[in-house]
């Protein structure tokens, strides 16, 4: 993906965009991203307190930054490392740590689906027109009907199925539902919900303010920002930290609004690079400082 993305624009041209960028907006975007990560670390403590674990905020913060850094190696490996850090330094059982991470990911998924829904609602005419233009309406209707039938059949299979596969799926789904509902059972659920909304607000804002760093992306419609943000978020979820795929996801989103590819690709690389540099620095320092911060425990 890195090779493909860089093959679509010359290195010299990409560097020229970096040179001409307004770094005031880039630094502001980094700051907003930092706030979201700190909020995530603080939110995590709300989930652990009902189980009797009052972890140090420092450990929570460093575990979060270490998670993001490790996710650049193997997708989702950071979540395992994050739970392991709590096990090593806070005596939180590994399975309980993983359980809280799964629950918070469910909360994040709900907010992400909310952003997608709002985007679809605000840009329904545009998205509908795009689909009609690019795809045959009859085929879209047939595809939608097939999808509905498959969903109904799958739900009935899971509900009535007695096979090992059906039971595993049923157990998995019930676990996800239980994890999501557990959020509303915690003592500080409203604080948890506030931080969840705050985290994603910062994500969108950091994406938005960074768009002002290039003259070519300063005046793009907010709908393009939302669709670009959604596409970029999926690229991070699908690959290790969005390496290579992040700028291409933004190109795909922005070109829907007839924005030129080169500035869109350059913005994607600026956005990804600025956040990645922050994660490399703070994640690396976290991994180094964790045993020092907890030296009394390890002695």
* CA atoms within a 13 Å half-sphere pointing along the CA-CB vector of 167: 3
Pick from 43-52, 80-89, 131-140, 154-163: least confident: 131-140
The answer to whether residue 275 scores a pLDDT higher than 70 is yes
Q: Give the C-alpha separation, 119 to 46, whole Å.
A: 30
Pick from 117-121, 142-146, 229-233, 259-263: least confident: 142-146
Cβ atoms of 63 and 82 closer than 8 Å: yes
The answer to whether residue 136 scores a pLDDT higher than 80 is no
The answer to whether residue 158 scores a pLDDT higher than 80 is no
Share of the chain above pLDDT 70, in %: 87
Q: Give the C-alpha separation, 256 to 105, whole Å.
A: 29
Nearest to 203 by CA among 49, 73, 40, 3: 40
> Over the stretch 184-233, which tens digit does the pLDDT of each residue have?
677 788 889 899 999 999 999 999 999 999 999 988 888 888 889 988 98
The answer to whether residue 267 scores a pLDDT higher than 80 is yes
Domain ranges of the chain: 2-298
Pick from 131-135, 142-146, 159-163, 205-209: least confident: 131-135
The answer to whether residue 49 scores a pLDDT higher than 70 is yes
pLDDT at 173: 67
Pick from 73-82, 140-149, 167-176, 220-229: least confident: 167-176
pLDDT at 125: 66
pTM for the whole structure:
0.81
The stretch 72-90 carries a mean pLDDT of 87
* CA atoms within a 13 Å half-sphere pointing along the CA-CB vector of 76: 6
Nearest to 34 by CA among 197, 223, 199: 199
Q: What is the mean pLDDT of the chain?
A: 85
């Amino acid at each position: 993906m890195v090779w493909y993305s860089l093959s679509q624009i010359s290195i010299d041209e990409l560097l020229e965009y970096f040179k001409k960028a307004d770094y005031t907006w880039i630094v502001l975007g980094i700051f907003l991203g930092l706030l979201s990560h700190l909020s995530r670390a603080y939110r995590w403590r709300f989930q652990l307190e009902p189980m009797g674990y009052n972890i140090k905020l420092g450990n929570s913060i460093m575990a979060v930054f270490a998670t993001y850094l490790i996710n650049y190696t193997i997708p989702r490996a950071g979540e395992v490392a994050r739970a392991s850090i709590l096990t090593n330094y806070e005596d939180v059982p590994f399975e309980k740590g993983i359980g809280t991470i799964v629950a918070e990911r469910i909360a994040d998924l709900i907010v992400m689906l909310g952003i997608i829904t709002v985007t679809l609602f605000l840009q329904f005419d545009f998205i509908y027109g795009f689909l009609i233009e690019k795809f045959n309406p009859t085929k879209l209707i047939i595809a939608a009907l097939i999808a509905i039938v498959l969903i109904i059949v799958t739900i009935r299979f899971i509900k009535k199925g007695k096979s090992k596969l059906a039971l595993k799926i049923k157990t998995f789904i019930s676990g996800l539902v239980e994890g999501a509902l557990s959020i509303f059972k915690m003592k500080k659920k409203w604080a948890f919900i506030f931080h969840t909304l705050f985290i994603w607000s910062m994500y969108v804002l950091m994406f938005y303010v960074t768009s002002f760093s290039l003259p070519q992306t300063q005046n793009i419609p907010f709908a393009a920002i939302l669709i670009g943000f959604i596409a970029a978020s999926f690229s991070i979820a699908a690959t290790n930290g969005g390496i290579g795929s992040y700028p291409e996801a933004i190109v795909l989103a922005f070109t829907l609004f007839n924005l030129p590819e080169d500035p869109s690709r350059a913005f994607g690389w600026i956005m990804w690079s600025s956040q990645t540099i922050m994660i490399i620095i703070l994640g690396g320092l976290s991994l180094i400082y964790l045993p020092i911060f907890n030296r009394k425990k390890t002695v």
